[in-house]
Structures are given as C-alpha cells and as structure tokens.
Structure 1
Amino acid sequence: MAVPDYQAFMYPFLQLLKDGGEHTLKEAYEYLADFFQLTADDRSEMIPSGNQLVYHNRIGWARTYLKKAGLINTVRRATFIINERGREVLADSGLSELTKEYLLRYKEFQEFINKKVPEEQALNFVQDQEDLSPQDQLEQSYKIIQQQIGEELLEKVKSCTPEFFERLVVDLLVSMGYGGSIQDAGKAIGRSGDEGIDGIIKEDVLGLDMIYVQAKRWEGVVGRPEIQKFAGSLEGQRARKGVFITTSDFTDGAKEYVNRIEKKIILINGTDLANYMFKYDIGVSKVTQYILKKVDLDYFEE
C-alpha cells in the first residue's frame, strides 16, 4: 500500500502509548510501519528533497500534531508518553481515527496553527483550508513549520549553558549587522552572573553609535522595574539606545514604559529571539528549498 498521510498515523501513534510507558520516535517508526503493513518500497520512499523517508516525515508530523493538541507529552528528546487528555481520546469508543478537524477542538492546537477559531467553527475552518490555492497552502504550511522550529529553538536556548547563551547572542547580533565582528562583539559583551549577559556593542561596523545590550535567560516575565533599571544603566554607559533580550516575555507595563521614555529601547522576548534565530540562520540548518516560478510573459513578446 502507499504510505498514508500524516493524519492516518495519529490515532495508532496514540495507541502505541496507551500502556502509559515511555516510547521513542524510533519505536513509533517501527510500530506504525508494521501497523500499516508498509512494503520495503514504501519504507524506502524519500520525500522530494531526498533528505528524509516519507513515512518518517509523516509520522513526525503526526507526533507534532498530537503534542500541539495536548494529547502526549515529551519526556526527553524523541521520547513520549500519553497524558490524561490522550487517554480520554482513546476511551472514546466511537472514535477510530484522528484528523486535523478533530484536533481543532483544542485551544492549544488552534493557537499552534495560528488560527484562533471557536470550536463550533472548526469544520468551516477545515473547509476553508481546502479552498486555499496551492501557494496559499504552501505559505501557511511554511508558517506552521517556522513556528514549530521556533518553539524547539527556544527550548534549546533555555537549556543551554550561560557560556553558550552568550555566544548565541553575540552570533545573532553580528548576523543582524551589529557589533562589528564576532571578535569585537564577543569582547564587548560578557556574562553578568545572573543567567544573563550585558555589554555595549557597535551599532555599525565603524562604531558611529553604541547600543547597550542586556540578555537574560529567564522563565518569569520581565516587568517594568527591571526595564526602568535597564534604562538607568544606559545613562551610566553613555548609550542612547538599548536592546533587552529575554527568553520569557515582558509585562504590558514594561512595554508601555519603553514607548513613553525618550531613549530608544527594543524589547525582544523569547518568541522574537527564536524568530530572529530562524531568520538569520542561527542554530538552524537548511533542509531543502522550494523556488516558486511564473511564466515570464516578456520573454514571449515577439
């Protein structure tokens, strides 16, 4: 048989975890390939880029969707366990398959696909998806992939050492065009001893203006008092501009404060940090590339 789509893999994937034990992605590959009786040809089929097996790719997406819908939990890298919501799904005797339409009943999944819709509108949403043009579907799929990678990047950043966090921020700022060279920026920025870094970097290669940078690998949100303290530090550093980076988020009070003061302070939260890393190729590598083309009508002008 042909390799099923990712939706077909979701329910049996959940069944694999029904014993309550920990199971790896490798186990899922083997279990689901046997479950669907995939042939040797099916198991060796590659996606167009040639970088991954088709059934591995689709099982990977099934895993992602189950996780984003809150049906399974990640124990550690590529190892999963079913949770209470997942057990409730398996306990539904009238259910024998899972689809994206079904998962849209969960708020977490709605947020994951970046389309917040009420539960009663879920069916309409799925139908709307089917009406999208191929290019629109491609762009929406790209956004979902970007969001997934962003979340994974942020998890890795939060788990890295202070030394690695310092290097990451330096690499990112230099890739964005700040700090001069890696060596210059590395010398200008140092660890602050509180799970963060701070320092002054060049705004441009020539150093015509300077930017005060503070980055904190925090879990709790950053409030206005912390930003006020940062704004005060700009005076001591003779800087007019500042960038405050956190792996968490900022309170509304902190955001309102930077909009009212004279000095220019940019706030970068965890989501922004991951997005910038994705955009400037920090901590990510290119898997494949699709180039959209159109007919060049000028070429056919006689």
Structure 2
Amino acid sequence: MVKRKSKSEFINWFGPLLDALRELGFSGKPKEVSDKIAENLNLKEEFLDQTLKSGTNKFHNQVAWARQYLTWEGLLDSSVRGTWKLTEKGKNTYLNDEQSREIFLKWVAINQKARINKSKSEVIEEQEENDPDSVEIKAENSLLEILQSLSPSGFENVCKELLREHDFENVEVVGRSHDGGIDGYGVLEVNPFVSFKVIFQCKRYKCSVSRSQVGDFRNAMIGRAEKGIILTTGTFTREAEKEASRDGAPQIELVDGQKLVKMFEKVQLGVKERKVFDVDMAYFQKFKD
C-alpha cells in the first residue's frame, strides 16, 4: 500500500470522468470508465496498482467517489444500477479544476450536516478509505475482512461452496498438495451438450496478484482443464489482467475482492439481505433554495 500524498484526490477525476463517458457513448460500466480515464490521461501502472488499507484498488475507489459527487450534482443518472450514465445536463458539462472543487466543497458541507457527529475532515477521510456504497452503513467486520481472517484451507473450502452455489458441479478442493498452484477443480455445464472442466486457485490476499502469479497458474492449468479461475480477496495488477486475457493463451477468469463479495451476495451465501433506505440529499436540496 502506498501512503496517500494529499486528501480528496478524487476531485481530479470529476472532469475526466465526464469526458470518458462522452467517449463511451454517454454510458459505461465502472471498470470501462476507470480504464478509459487511465488511458486518456496516460496514468502510470504503479499509480493504478495502489491499494487502500482494505485492499481495495485506490484509483477505482477514487473514480467511484467522483461518480458519486457528480450524481449528487445531477450530472450522472443515479437510477441506472451497474451502469454509469450521463444526464442531459452532464452531456453538456465540462469541468475545470476550480469548478470541480466547488462541487466537492458544496457536497462535503451537505454531507457533514447530514452526519452530525462527523467533522469535515472525518467525512473526507471516510470517503477516501471506503467505497461510496459502504459509507452510510458499514459493518464492523466486512465480508472481505472476514474472508481474509479465515485459514488458507478455510478460504479454499468457502470458495468451493461459492462455486457450487453458482452452478458448478463436482467441485473439490485438492487439499494440502497444492498441485502446481491448483487449489481445486469442478465442472461447469453450459447446456446439456457442453460442459467445461475448470480449475481454480484461491488467494487470501490484502495485496495484489501479480502477472507472474497468473502466468504460473496458467502453466499449471495447461493440459488439465479448459478454464481457470483465480479468486482473491485482494486485487489484480494491470499487468496481471493483461496476462489473464493474453491472445494465444488459455484465458484465465479473475475474481477480485469486490467481485467476490458480489458473488456471495448474489446467492446469499454467508450473508443476510436487509432492505434499507438512504436519504437522497440531492432531491431535497432543491427545495432549500
């Protein structure tokens, strides 16, 4: 983890995020948008691979907060889940540094008033260390923290159950032999006529999985299965992502910590669903003027 140099770095991505969405046709998936910003600004790999204390990718988290502020400002549509979409106002808005900072200060003040026991600096620090969806209601022990606290064999076995819940069959953990980095295998039936043997590797990390680790896993997979999956509670470096999808080589599916949590939530494995309502501050703000 790299120590942050200054606070509120996510302000830097307000304008570039709007620009990226315009290039993507006014909407895009979160990862697409982050990658487009990184491409447009020619950001260095070492910066893009930085993580927070939680193991979350720092850059993607900052872009998610930039999106949250722009949503509050009415520049992005908050109703489209899983997709970031510009509003008509957002399509025609171009932000410089000063304008971005004005939006930031406006909504920090509003957030501070809504959270009586939080100072302005505490609100900012909370945002820098957590993703937007977790700030309002944050469990004392998050799912990722619990998964990271398991024993190596415990994490492998909970991943086995997770894959079973996601329609894999004959899922088994190899055990302590760790045959060439392979932790387990299973079968995924696409339809009654087509099925794939899949091997998987479990990495109970807070850091990032490297390119070489993906390459080593692929070497162990060749000749034994049609597909490979690496599941981690951490993240993957950009070079690891490129290696996983390299042309001419068997493709490796990568499941990072954030995707892993969503997989647990989708099948409600080890988690209980509860319905909560958050106040839409942007909606009520217009009635104060």
- TM-score between the two structures when normalised by the length of structure 2: 0.47
- TM-score between the two structures when normalised by the length of structure 1: 0.45
**Structure number with higher relative contact order (C-alpha < 8 Å, ≥ 6 residues apart):** 2
